[in-house]
Amino acid sequence: MALPTTSTVAWSNPLQPPAYNPVVARTTLARPPPAHVGHSDTPMRDSPFDASLQPPTAPSEQPKKVEWTPEVRNYVGRAFEPENTIAGISKEDTTNKLRVVLSYFAERSQLEGIDWSTYPLPQELLRDERAAAWAQAQSNSLLSSPNGPANPTLDTPQSKKRKSQDKMDLSESADASVPPWRRTNLESRITYANGRNEKRHKKNAVSGDATSKFDQADLEKRKQRFQLGKNGNSSTPPWNSPKPDSDADMDNAPCVGTNMSLEKSYFRLTAPPKPETVRPQHVLEKTLAMLRKKWKADKNYGYMCNQFKSLRQDLTVQHIKNDFTVKVYESHARIALEQGDMGEYNQCQTQLKALYSQNLAGNPDEFTAYRVLYFVYTCNKTDMNDLLAELTPSDKIKPEIKHALDVRSSLALGNYHKFFRLYTIAPRMGMYLMDMFIGRERLHALANISRAYMTVGLRFLTDELQFGDDGECREFLESHGASQAIDKKLDEHGKPQFRVKVKEAASVFESLRQAAFALVDIKGQK
């Protein structure tokens, strides 16, 4: 009889979805009469398949009141103990898996029959599944293209993201895999329909499921290839194999890349990177040179940011921390500044600060100055104070830093005149940063002026607030609801003269100022 006898398989099966496995098809046909089933004490008395036929999360028709024994409670507790977490497996995944496992046994009233203290935890099950799927992905690709190398992208997050694609593969293979004799079998058709059903359920489940679904699809494919005509039960449970544990070790050990391509899209890592997807430093250096050239040529920031993030990731996983690292971060910081991407800029800045503390090459003065300006922008007094505490007297006289500190103090003292002068002479890329708050400071100055003067010439505002010309200044005023206050008169030569009755717009400017400053609470993360 093909009925599996080892109880170890029992738990691994409810988690495998579709019912097109030929081996099981036979068990289904050869299923003993129900009465006999009732006597069996092994968890395997039902076909494990039927478990998967029922959507695990959907309530059964007659929900049974389940009494959780202390052993089960203990098992659940252990599943969420911090020391039992496994890198790369989220709590969500664990929760889902746990639910599947428990409902499988609960529906069969077998909760007592299991030794919960030795039963693998849901995250261990997940890890083993993933490891198995990974191994299969490897052998799959080897089998499908015996002459070529393994496709390195097969298991990258990239492929995991292509959800719609995966779904297609899955259903195709499902169709193809149904053996002819099963098509004539009524029961199998029901099974099939239910299998589909379950897929839909899985799809509707948490998005984190996408990963395991993909793995299982591979798992199935592999089974179809290897198990035809064989007893399909592997006698060694996957968690006993030596492989899966490598996860933990790989977390900290630097990886050495072997990938030679210059371009690579960024994806957040969810598992330790594989060397063939990581580029070594000499390739990264070429990448950086290429990116710089490209940036000058076509200024495509979306592409650039993506490439830089993957570049940074490759540096990180290989623990490369040297002058080149600094160069990468500086380049990315500058490009982000140019684009006003403060979130990305801030990430680079934080890293640069730590890198400079290692006495690596680079431009610490320039970036310290940017940090001062950045904290002016975010109005973060605590961080500003900490930064001031770090500066040494010799730092403070460096031209870039001194400029930034002057900007800070001019604004602190409300000296907008000095501030706008400093704006025009900002060294390096300081102006890009100051652009982030120049509008706000113009409103601040206008609020100020509108309390202190009755009327002023338009030219005075243009000069004080450093607008390009009178037209630009007028536009700014008009777009901020002060068009009523602008007065046009002709002078003795017949030329138009503009005066601004600032007093009238005082309350407008004041509320605009408050709104502009209220916006920056979020540390620049827009």
Partner 1 sequence: MSMEAALAGFQQAYNTHDAFELASCLKPIPVDRLYDFWRSTNEARVEHTVKHAITFGLGRIERSEAQGWIDVFVGFWRASDKIINADQAQNQGRLSERHALEVYEAWKDLVQTFQKYIGNGTLPHWIIFTLYFVANDLRRFAIKADAQLAKAKPVTFSAGLSDDVVATTLKNQKLEEAARVFSRIFALCMSDRNPNLSESRKWAVYCIANLQFKTYFKLKTITLCKNLIKSIEAQADMPPWNLYPKAHRVTYMYYCGVIAFLQEDYNKAETALFNSWAYCYKGSTKNRELILTYLIPCRLITKSEIPSVQILQEFPHLQTLFGDLVSSIKRGDLAGFDKAFAEGEPEFVRRRVFLTLERSRDIALRNLLRKVFLAGGYEDLKEGQAEKDRMRRTRIPLAHFATALRMGSGGGQSVDDEEVECLLANMIYKGLMKGYISREHAMVVLNKKGAFPGTGV
Residues that bind partner 1 (CB under 8 A): 87-88, 251-252, 268-272, 309, 312-313, 315-316, 319-321, 325, 347, 350-351, 354-355, 357-358, 381-382, 384-386, 388-389, 409, 412-418, 447-449, 451-454, 456-457, 460, 463-464
**Cα angle 277, 279, 284; round to 5:** 150
Residue 66 or residue 269: which is nearer to partner 1 going by CB? 269
Which tokens go with 247? 């996860």
Residues 340, 336: Cα–Cα separation, whole Å: 6
Place of tokens 């870039």: 400
Quote the radius of gyration of the chain (alpha carbons, Å): 33
CB of 227 to partner 1, least distance (A): 34
Residues 209, 199: Cα–Cα separation, whole Å: 11
Residue 9 or residue 520: which is nearer to partner 1 going by CB? 520
Residue 290 or residue 388: which is nearer to partner 1 going by CB? 388
CB of 404 to partner 1, least distance (A): 15
CB of 448 to partner 1, least distance (A): 4
Question: How far from 13 is each of 41, 86, 357, CA to CA, in Å?
Answer: 17, 22, 53
CB of 280 to partner 1, least distance (A): 16
Residue 145 or residue 322: which is nearer to partner 1 going by CB? 322
Residue 271 or residue 433: which is nearer to partner 1 going by CB? 271
Q: Looking at 178-322, list the stretches that DSSP marks H as alpha helix, in order from N- to C-terminal side.
A: 180-183, 186-204, 209-227, 246-250, 281-298, 301-317
CB of 173 to partner 1, least distance (A): 30
Residue 106 or residue 255: which is nearer to partner 1 going by CB? 255
CB of 306 to partner 1, least distance (A): 12
Residues 356, 141: Cα–Cα separation, whole Å: 44
Residue 125 or residue 449: which is nearer to partner 1 going by CB? 449
Residue 16 or residue 349: which is nearer to partner 1 going by CB? 349
CB of 343 to partner 1, least distance (A): 13
Residue 80 or residue 453: which is nearer to partner 1 going by CB? 453
CB of 457 to partner 1, least distance (A): 7
**Cα angle 32, 196, 64; round to 5:** 60
The DSSP string of 158-203 is: HHHH-HHHHHHHHHHHHHHHS-HHHHT-HHHHHHHHHHHHHHHHHH
Question: How far from 128 is each of 131, 133, 462, CA to CA, in Å?
Answer: 5, 8, 69
CB of 114 to partner 1, least distance (A): 33
Q: What is the 3-state secondary structure (H, E, C) of 368-400?
A: HHHHHHHHHHHCCHHHHHHHHHHCCHHHHCCHH
Cβ partners under 8 Å of residue 38, min gap 6: 45
CB of 313 to partner 1, least distance (A): 5
CB of 336 to partner 1, least distance (A): 14
Residue 49 or residue 416: which is nearer to partner 1 going by CB? 416
Strands, sheet with 456-457, edge to edge from the N-terminal-most edge strand? 456-457, 496-500, 486-490
CB of 395 to partner 1, least distance (A): 13
Residues 420, 414: Cα–Cα separation, whole Å: 11
Residue 87 or residue 206: which is nearer to partner 1 going by CB? 87
Q: Answer left, alpha or beta for residue 236, where phi above 0 means left and psi between -120 and 50 means alpha.
A: beta
Residues 367, 353: Cα–Cα separation, whole Å: 8
Which tokens go with 375? 């904290």
Per-residue b/e over 404-420, b at no fewer than 16 CB within 10 Å? bbbbbebbeeeebeebb
Are 174 and 218 spatial neighbours (Cβ–Cβ below 8 Å)?
A: no
Residue 293 or residue 319: which is nearer to partner 1 going by CB? 319
CB of 53 to partner 1, least distance (A): 36
Residue 205 or residue 315: which is nearer to partner 1 going by CB? 315
- What are the backbone angles phi and psi of residue 454, rounded to the nearest 5°? -85, -60
Q: Answer left, alpha or beta for residue 495, where phi above 0 means left and psi between -120 and 50 means alpha.
A: beta
